[in-house]
Each structure stands twice: as structure tokens, then as C-alpha cells.
Structure 1
Amino acid sequence: MLKLQMFINGEWLDSFSKETDDVINPANGKIIAEVAKGNEEDARTAIDSARKAFDSGIWSDLPAAERASYLFKIADKIEENASRLSKLESANTGKPFRESEYDIADAVDCFRYHAGLITKPDGQTYPVSDPVQAMVVREPVGVCGLIAPWNFPLLTGAWKLAPALAAGNTVVYKPSGVTPITTVKLFEIIEEVGIPSGVANLVMGDGATVGNEIAENDKVDMISFTGSTTTGRSIMKKASGNIKNISLELGGKSPNIVFADADFETAVDYALFGTFMNAGQVCNAGSRLLLEESIHEKFLDRLVKRAKEIRVGPGDQTSTEMGALVSKSHMEKVLKYIQTGIEEGATLACGGRRITENGLEKGYFIEPTIFIDTKPNMKIVQEEIFGPVLVVQKFKDEAEAILLANDTSYGLAAGVFSQDGAKALRVIKKIRAGITWVNAYNLAYNEAPWGGYKQSGIGRGLGTFGLEEFTEAKQININLEVEPTNWFGN
């Protein structure tokens, strides 16, 4: 069994309390690791370490090309260990091995992208009216508290650590206590490549203790959080003490709109991929399927047939297409939502129960589930379930599709399927969401910004936008004619 410690100021440490948490394989309920459980004192130690390192300039003062060289080395090391990391990711999260392989490859690309990005020209100059050279430069924010979710542990680590470190910040990183294994392995790589002590710190522990300390501590200049909208709202309040910069990537209840003129098999395929990838534990999942009335029955027949054929099982089996939910408590939460949907009057077209056959009785597996006969005000339509549950709605025309699509408090993602390009673009432009696709769903790129409207968050990750989140813009004005202004006389 793995024994996992925290990484603070270049050292691997147990928590001050010596407490530990067990890490469970959700496919079989077995303990696979024991992890140090940090508290406020551990978090403060890590924050002090990051503060001292930033103020010393040991990292921020390095030339961009030198910081980039470290990130390239991290990418190389992740790539060298990709197979092992993928296996650990699947064992910890329950996701199929092929999904973990994709996540690890994307993490490699993320570090390389940001390493290349910071050596490119940036800043601006302005032709102002006075004899002044006006310019703007980008500088690191300072100490960044990075708080990550459990659904994409190593990939989320890359999405946060790569831009934060590239920009010259120091960091205190808190992974989810449910899925910390590959994050610890990532910090082993960070140590191996020789990033200076105190620049990157790892603290495990509960959100109510470690997370709150990071959010409230006045020595932290920025919070980057990915997780639920409820927790994001709490972090905003706690971060207000010293007016921290905030970047929040929160929940979603995203619409996937299929018009009658869509390519039928493509739309069915992406409806499945957009909902059941990672067992639906994806913030941008297309968990609301909006079907034009004329194709509703035909589409559902094909969709339900294919959903029933999805091979559910342990992530380490090559035949597995959908894995376990991440924990027993989360599985129970999703099952409760399914029961709520039934009580609200929605109809189960397929699924709806925990799988306990074929050796899966000790794991946290739920059948791919599709609800029909739904109404807009139902909880299963309005609230994020974060599991393999799809709700289907019908619409008559473009106007109704747009109305239904925007009818939640979220605005993270959306998809439109139509072979009429003008119509697809008209609809996309009317949808209040930050990540959208036409004739596709669930595709993500390190080059493009990631984030949402409304209660799906603040700010953007990835791309040039994501790097800017971890910087401050400084205006510099240089007077080219050095003489008195005589504003107040001679």
C-alpha cells in the first residue's frame, strides 16, 4: 500500500497531527493508499514557505526561458511515466484506463504549451498624447492557492500548476482527499527536476480546514478553484478578506441541442460521449439533451439501445467503457437524485440502479441512466447531478431550444448539432455559455480558454487567457521630456 506525504518547502512531511486518510479504489472498495491528512497548521506552513520563496525572487526573477526549461522537464518526466501514472489514475478514480491515458497525455501537452507560451512576446505599448512612453507589462500575482477537484486529478494539476508556475508565481496546491495519488506523483516529478524549494507546495486535507485556511490567509494573493458552485461561493466570501484575485471553474448543467437536420449517428454518438464519459463526472457534461420534436422518438430509440450496450466495469479491464463513480458517498448522492427524478414524475428510459452483478458488488457502479418526460422545473433538470444521468427535453423550434438551453443558473458549456451552419451559429451565439461546440461535444484544447458564464464561474483557464489569470497588468509611463510641469506656478 502506498504511503503518501505532503511536500512543503522541498521536504516530504507527515501532517503536524500525524493523522492520515485512507484512499479507496472505487472499483472494489479496497484501500490502496494512506495519505497524510493536513490541518490549518500544515496549510500555514506551506503558505509561509510559498510567501518566502516568492518574496525572495528565487523563481519570479528567473528569465522566462529558464522557468520554461523546468516545465519542459516536468512534461518529459510525466511522459516517461505515462503508463504507470495512467494505471494509478484509474485505480484511484475508477475511470477506464483509456480515459486516464488521454488525461496524462493532455497533462504533458499542457506543461509544454505553457512552457512555450511564456517565452513569446507579451505586453503592450501605447501612443499617448504627452511626450511619454506608455507601456503595460505582465507580472506574477504572487502566492497562488490552487484547490483542485477529484474527477481529473493529474490533468487538473497540470491545468493549474503549469500556468501558475510559468507566470512566475509560487503555489500551495490542495488536491482532493479522495484522489490524491497522481498529484503526489506529480510533485515527486517537480522535486526531481529541481524546482527551488518553497516554489511548489502540496498540502492534503479537508476543504473545511486546509481549503479554508488557503482561502482566508492574507499571505495568499490568488485562489484558483475548480469544484462545485456551492463551494465556490463559500471560497469567494472567505477570499474577500484581503481582496484576493479569484478564478473559479464551477458546476454546469449543460444543454446539448439536436436539430432534425443533424447527422443522426454523429449526434447520437456525441450525446453518449457528452454524458457518460468519466461516468458523467465532468463539469461540462452534456447532461441535458434537447431534441427537436420530429426526431424525438427515433433518436431516443437509438440512444437508449446504445446506452444499454455500454460496457461498465473496473478501469483496469480493457473492455471497460465506463467505470465506477469516485466514492461510495458520491454514488449514494447520484442514486438519491435518480430517486428524486422518479418521484418528480420523470420516466426512466433506461438504467437507474446500482450495478451489483458480475463481480461489481463491492464497487460504486451505476447504470447509464436516461430520463424522459421531464419538465423544466424538475430538480434533475435544474441541478448538477455529476453522474451517468441524462435528462431529455423536447423543443419545437430555434426559439424554444434557446429558451430551454438558457433555463438554468449555469452557463458552462453547450452543444448544437445541425448541418445548417447558419442556424447552428445563430443558436450558439444566443446561448449563455463559455465553452461551445457545433457537431461535437466534450472536446478540450490547451490552446483555448476554459470557463463559464453565470454561476459556472469567474475567469478562464488555458490558452493565453488562462496564463493572464495568473498575472497582474502593470502600467509603466516613462517621461521623455524631463522638466518641471509648472502646474502650481514657477
Structure 2
Amino acid sequence: MSVSELERPEVRVVTHGLFIDGREVAASHPELLDVRNPATGEVVARIGHADASDVDRAIRSARRAFRSREWGGMPLRERAKLVNKLADAFEAHLDELYQLETMNNGRPVNETRAQLRRLPDFFRYNAGLALARRDSVIPVEGDYLNYTQRTPIGVVGNCTPFNHPLMIMCKSLAPVFASGCVTVVKPSEYTPLTTLRLAQIFTEAGLPDGVFNVVTGLGPTTGKYLAEHPGLNKLVLTGGTEAGQIAGALAGRNFARQTLELGGKTPVLVFPDFDVDQAVNYAAFGAFIGAGQTCVCASRHIVHRDIYDEFVEKLATKAKSIRIGDPTDPDTQLGPVISEKQRQRVLDYARIGLDEGARLVAGGQVPESLAEAGGFFVEPTVFADVSPEMRIFQEEVFGPFTSVTPFSTEEEAIQLANNSPFGLAAAIRTKDVARAHRVAAAIDCGIVWVNDHHRLDPASPWGGVKLSGTGREFGSESFDEHFDVKSVMVNMTDKPFDWYQDSTGPRRLN
């Protein structure tokens, strides 16, 4: 059933304030921003537009909580127990959250349900890291005991995108809470609803006031105020490379730590020993899940010439078979992109690909059956015969859009894969174990999938190189980045010391 065929019930538009110090509060400025359902284009909520004074309020609230006995003085095991309780609370509200997320960002409900049910494990894993944490005793020269102490860094600003609102936020929230830090979250203005709801759920579950604050608004205003605030100790941002460069420069003025997960142009190298049908199935999954609005979208398929024509033909057929429609319908396989602006971007790149001489083999248009639906639908789009100098090979589209480029040798495939300013993820399709390891080592990126795509785990580090950002999320790497390390050097002797009087024998200055 298409969205245009639905009997739409009257939409109740809810107005939301900010979430500061454990409760919803009005923004200082009366301006409200519309939040739309991307499947219908209808306004479903209105949110506050936080200004600099609102961001300051939120950071001050977070700082008070960080220094409080209730949170800052909470024993380690009690904090780990609370973080596990938050995971339980998340699970108890799972149905509500995945339905709200589907309505707000347009992903098919089957995708949303499959993604959100994994998020409680993010918190449980980090609670385990907190319990297992050990500081170091370091062997040093002389009669000294040297050990380290780790203390949580403080206030973490978290700017989240529209494509995976809860998942991307939770991969930051989990180490924040488990380490004893506090946070101010600025969600995308397109998808703030599940973030605001989760703040309420966690507060009701026992998270102290001020530990989790939410300021809504636009990136160039609210996001800027957060990134440049001198009270911020760490900035975590997932978004476009340009936004990351701007926010990172602002945060850098105050020497705030940064974890930036930015753009991507994921190459997928398909070798001739791999089953073509399976390669096509992975290609469709990698390119079109989430309507292609993922930083690790399989956007550049680099395919051996021996199987190139067969791969292109079958991928085009697969793309045309995907069911597009109402994301709340369990039979829907592809929902809308987030906005009319994003849909137009995809359509513009389809035109650019044609102008550059690439061969359009699927999609590139608004589905005819959904043209009057009011939502922001676009067909899964596949271009073949794409060369590396083309813009559709080099630039991130962020939609259901992929390209196919032939190669002849392993060296050429690696060269094509690395011919990009981005370096977030890559994928390899081969049954040759030695080749898989060899090629994985040669690709410039932070994540490689061999015979798979999109897989993650709370224990596995996630992040990129080059223009895809800096730092790592997930794993002990992310948890450890929420601490300052203090070195304590203890003299274990009672020998008299007077540097300026005792000049006998060899002396040690350092």
C-alpha cells in the first residue's frame, strides 16, 4: 500500500520545549521549528529553537550534575548498576521508540525495529567496561612507585544527525554515562522526537537531573553555540564533513576533545570468485538500507570485468524490484529520504551523472505512484560505466544512489578504492582468504567488511580517516576517551635531599 492510498488520520501537532535539568523547559526565544513526517510531508511536532543563553543553561546544568554528590560522587558500582537499569528502561519502551522513530525519520518499520533492539547492549557493554576498569602501575627507574588515576573529563556535547537518531546518540551516551561524564545533546532539527523522549525515559528510570540535557534547534545557531561554548570538554559530532570542519574548529579554540564521524564514499570491491547473486544482494543492502542515508552507504561498487555486465544487469533488476511506500507498513522495503531538499539533492546527482556520460540503469526519479503522496520519495538509483573523475564517483550523495565501475587487476581495484577524499568504510567480496586480508590492509579507511556490510558491535571501534573524521566510537577506545589521566609519582625512600648542598656522587635531575 502506498502512502497516497492511506486514509490519513488527523495529525495532532505536539509542541516540545528543551530538556534541561531533568525537565522540559521553554526556549528563551518564542520561535518554533516545524518537524515533518518525511513520508507525508505533514507537520507532526514543533520544537524550540535554543539560543546561546539556552545552551549556556544546559551546560551549567550539566556542570552542576557533574560536580554533585548524586552523580559525580556516585560509587563506580552504583553507576554501572544504573547504566544497566537505563538499558532495561530502553527495552521496556522499545515499541514506543521504534514507532516514533519511524514516523519521524521515515525508515521502514522493519529496519527501525531491527536497529533499535540492539541499542540496550551499548549501555550494558559500557557498564561492563566501567566495572572492569583498572588503572596502571608503571615500572620506573629508581625507588619510586608510579601509578595512574583516571577522572571523567566533564561535559560532552553531542550533535546527532537525522539518519540514525537514537543509534548514533546511544553510541555516545553509553560511554558518557558509564564513565561518569554528563552531556548536552543537540539532535538534528529534522529528528528530535526520540531524543526528547529518551531523556524523559532515562530521567524516570533514575538518571539524576542535569546528566542528560537536550537543546533543539538549527546547526548554524544552536549547534554553533554548543560547539564554541567554553564549558565544553568534548565534542562528539556525526554529520557532513563541512559541518564537522566548522564545529571542530569552534571546539578547538577551547581545546575541547573531539570525536567526529563525518562523510563517506564507501568502495565495495567485488572479485570474480564471489557469487554474483550474493554480491548483488549485499550491494542492494549496502546501498539502499536507510534510503542510502548512511555514511557507510555502499556508494561505489568496483567490480571485476569478468562479472561486470552480469553484476550491473542484476543490480538494476534488484533495485527496480524494491517496494517503496509507507514506512509503517511491514511490507515496505524503502521509505522516503528525510526532506524535499535531500530528495532534490539525489535527483540533481542523477542529472549530473547523465551529464557526465554515466549510464543510468535504474531509478533516478520520483516514483510515479507516489508523486502525489506528499512525502519525499525517490527511486533506488544505479549508474554504470562510472569513471573516477566523475562527481558521482567522488562526492557523497546521501540517498539511495550507487555507482558501478569496472576493474581488471587487484592493484587497480585498490587504487580506485583509495581514489577518494573520504576514508570511513570499505567492503570486499571474495572467497580468497589471503586476498581479503591483503586488500583490507591496503585500503585507506577505518572500517572494512569482508563479505558483509553495515555490521557493528559495541566492542568494535568505529570511525574514519582523511575527510571522514577523527577519533573512534564504540569499544574501549571510546570509553577511554572520556577520562583525563593523572600520573602519580611517589618517592619510596626517606633519603635526605638538598640539590643545592649535596654535590657528592652522581645526581639525578629528572
Taking structure 2 as the reference length, the TM-score comes to 0.94
Corresponding position of 1:203: 215
Corresponding position of 1:123: 135
Corresponding position of 1:183: 195
Residue 484 to residue 253, structure 1, CA distance change in 2 (3 Å):
farther
Structure 2 contact 49–222 (Cα < 8 Å) conserved: no
Corresponding position of 1:326: 338
Corresponding position of 1:82: 94
Structure 1 contact 449–461 (Cα < 8 Å) conserved: yes
Corresponding position of 2:415: 403
Percent identical pairs in the alignment equals 38
Corresponding position of 2:470: 458
Structure 2 contact 270–302 (Cα < 8 Å) conserved: yes
Q: How far apart in 2 are the matches of 1:240 and 1:292? A: 44
Structure 2 contact 302–404 (Cα < 8 Å) conserved: yes
Aligned counterpart for 1:384 among listed residues 396, 411, 414:
396
Corresponding position of 1:432: 444
Q: How far apart in 2 are the matches of 1:272 and 1:459? A: 29
Cα RMSD over matched residues? 1.4
Q: Does 1:44 align with 2:44?
A: no
Corresponding position of 2:226: 214
Corresponding position of 1:486: 498
Corresponding position of 2:85: 73
> What residue ranges of structure 2 are gaps of 5+ in the alignment?
1-11, 503-510
Q: Aligned partner of 1:21: which letter?
A: L
Aligned counterpart for 2:157 among listed residues 135, 145, 164:
145
Corresponding position of 2:34: 22
Q: How far apart in 2 are the matches of 1:264 and 1:342? A: 26
Find the residue that maps to 1:242 and give its secondary structure.
Answer: coil
Q: Does 1:270 align with 2:279?
A: no
Q: Does 1:7 align with 2:19?
A: yes
Find the residue that maps to 2:132 and give its secondary structure.
Answer: coil
Higher-Rg structure is 2
Corresponding position of 1:172: 184
Structure 1 contact 251–283 (Cα < 8 Å) conserved: yes
Corresponding position of 1:290: 302
Q: Does 1:160 align with 2:172?
A: yes
- Which region of structure 1 is more displaced relative to structure 2, 418-427 or 131-140? 131-140
Q: How far apart in 1 are the matches of 2:500 and 2:354? A: 77
CA deviations over 1:431-490 (Å, ceiling 9, x no partner): 011111111111111110000011111100001111112222222222212444433324
Q: How far apart in 2 are the matches of 1:207 and 1:269? A: 36
Find the residue that maps to 2:458 and give its secondary structure.
Answer: coil
Corresponding position of 2:74: 62
Q: How far apart in 1 are the matches of 2:69 and 2:171? A: 23
Q: How far apart in 2 are the matches of 1:316 and 1:391? A: 29
CA deviations over 1:216-274 (Å, ceiling 9, x no partner): 11111110111010011001211122111111011100100000001322221111111
Q: Aligned partner of 1:234: which letter?
A: I
Deviation at 1:359, TM superposition (A): 7.2
Structure 1 contact 19–38 (Cα < 8 Å) conserved: no
Find the residue that maps to 1:318 and give its secondary structure.
Answer: coil
Deviation at 1:360, TM superposition (A): 5.7
Q: Aligned partner of 1:225: which letter?
A: L
Find the residue that maps to 2:313 and give its secondary structure.
Answer: helix
> What residue ranges of structure 1 are gaps of 5+ in the alignment?
none
Q: How far apart in 2 are the matches of 1:485 and 1:343? A: 80
Deviation at 1:214, TM superposition (A): 1.2
Q: Does 1:234 align with 2:246?
A: yes
- Which region of structure 1 is more displaced relative to structure 2, 478-487 or 403-412? 478-487
Q: Does 1:394 align with 2:406?
A: yes
Corresponding position of 1:349: 361
Deviation at 1:58, TM superposition (A): 3.8
CA deviations over 1:78-99 (Å, ceiling 9, x no partner): 1111111111111111100011
